[in-house]
């Protein structure tokens, strides 16, 4: 029953890494990485790896397209929608989610990736949101625990908390790197044959500061399956 979800633990980690590459690409504090095409390539690579993990042999299906650099740049430059106020986005994938004021978001159609969004609220804080939807069967508890263990082995001073029950679980975490504090919330919501995942991350250059977690929690908690 839970084999499908357990096989896709790495896919959720890949989505997290895609968010981190999105930080680097959009944040001008990283002078060598800001608007650097190889960083954008990294973002595309991680979303593709997530797609590989989610879809397996279905990658050649007609509804799966791997984005390239030009498509991704065009998405944010030309198709990105800026939120002047807090906005409820209703997706064709059957869910609604809060996108707070100041984000630029792009509804996607690249396999499991349904939406990506970014915001730089100040020179020292960068946010990203990814939402995915996949067909899945099984139980969430062991999957979320192993996602946390996977992240713990890869990141320094990783701390986390799992909350929720049954088909609606939330993983809240923090970890540090050389450039500051990373705060994140991943929510896993299963309804029927589909598993919805929202990953909201904030990177701040102020070590030891987790004030951004309040807004990340609000974003994750706002996800509603229609």
Give tens-digit pLDDT for 117-130: 888 766 677 788 88
What's the mean pLDDT when you consider all of the chain? 70
What range defines the domain where residue 57 resides? 1-63
Query: 194 pLDDT exceeds 70?
Result: yes
71 domain residue, yes or no: no
175 domain residue, yes or no: yes
Query: In terms of domains, do 105 and 198 share one?
Result: yes
CATH at residue 139: 3.40.1000.10
Query: 66 pLDDT exceeds 50?
Result: no
How would residue 2 be classed by pLDDT, with cut points 50, 70 and 90? Answer: very low
Query: In terms of domains, do 86 and 191 share one?
Result: yes
User: How far is the C-alpha of 201 from the C-alpha of 114, rounded, in Å?
Assistant: 16
Structure-token match 């044959």, residue found: 193
73 domain residue, yes or no: no
Answer whether 189's CB lies under 8 Å from 225's CB.
Answer: yes
Query: In terms of domains, do 83 and 58 share one?
Result: no
Tell me the percentage of the chain whose pLDDT exceeds 70.
55
How would residue 76 be classed by pLDDT, with cut points 50, 70 and 90? Answer: low
How would residue 109 be classed by pLDDT, with cut points 50, 70 and 90? Answer: low
Query: In terms of domains, do 94 and 6 share one?
Result: no
Tell me the mean pLDDT in the region 57-72. 42
Query: In terms of domains, do 86 and 46 share one?
Result: no
Query: In terms of domains, do 9 and 104 share one?
Result: no
Structure-token match 């792009």, residue found: 106
Tell me the mean pLDDT in the region 199-220. 79
How would residue 45 be classed by pLDDT, with cut points 50, 70 and 90? Answer: very low
69 domain residue, yes or no: no
39 domain residue, yes or no: yes
How would residue 74 be classed by pLDDT, with cut points 50, 70 and 90? Answer: low
Query: In terms of domains, do 135 and 177 share one?
Result: yes
Q: How far is CA 195 from the centre of its chain?
A: 14
Query: In terms of domains, do 114 and 50 share one?
Result: no
Query: In terms of domains, do 55 and 147 share one?
Result: no
Tell me the mean pLDDT in the region 41-65. 43
User: How far is the C-alpha of 12 from the C-alpha of 129, rounded, in Å?
Assistant: 13
Query: In terms of domains, do 19 and 125 share one?
Result: no
Total structural domains in the chain? 2
How would residue 68 be classed by pLDDT, with cut points 50, 70 and 90? Answer: very low
181 domain residue, yes or no: yes
Q: What separation in angstroms does the CA of 5 have from each of 111, 122, 141, 147, 205? A: 17, 37, 10, 10, 34
Residue 52: the pLDDT is 43
Of 20, 40, 63, which residue constitutes the final position of a domain? 63
16 or 35: which carries more pLDDT confidence?
Answer: 16
Query: In terms of domains, do 168 and 95 share one?
Result: yes
Please tell me the pTM assigned to this model: 0.70
Of 40, 63, 86, which residue constitutes the final position of a domain? 63
Q: Per mean pLDDT, which of 98-112, 148-162, 209-223 is the most reliable?
A: 209-223
Residue 149: the pLDDT is 78
Query: In terms of domains, do 13 and 56 share one?
Result: yes
């Amino acid at each position: 029953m839970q084999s499908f979800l357990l096989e896709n633990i790495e896919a959720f980690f890949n989505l997290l890494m895609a968010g981190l590459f999105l930080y680097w690409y959009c944040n001008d504090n990283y002078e060598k990485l800001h608007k650097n095409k190889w960083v954008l390539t990294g973002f595309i690579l991680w979303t593709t790896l997530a797609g590989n993990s989610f879809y397996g042999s279905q990658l050649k299906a007609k509804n799966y397209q791997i984005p390239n650099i030009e498509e991704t740049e065009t998405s944010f430059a030309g198709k990105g929608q800026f939120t002047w106020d807090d906005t409820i986005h209703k997706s064709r994938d059957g869910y609604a989610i809060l996108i707070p004021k100041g984000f630029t978001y792009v509804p996607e159609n690249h396999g499991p990736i349904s939406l990506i969004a970014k915001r730089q609220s100040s020179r020292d804080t960068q946010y990203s949101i990814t939402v995915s939807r996949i067909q899945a069967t099984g139980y969430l508890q062991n999957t979320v625990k192993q996602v946390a263990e996977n992240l713990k082995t890869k990141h320094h001073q990783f701390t986390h908390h799992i909350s929720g029950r049954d088909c609606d679980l939330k993983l809240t975490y923090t970890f540090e790197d050389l450039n500051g504090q990373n705060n994140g919330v991943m929510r896993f919501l299963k309804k029927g044959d589909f598993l919805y995942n929202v990953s909201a991350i904030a990177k701040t250059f102020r070590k030891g500061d987790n004030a951004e977690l309040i807004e990340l929690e609000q974003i994750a908690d706002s996800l509603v399956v229609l």
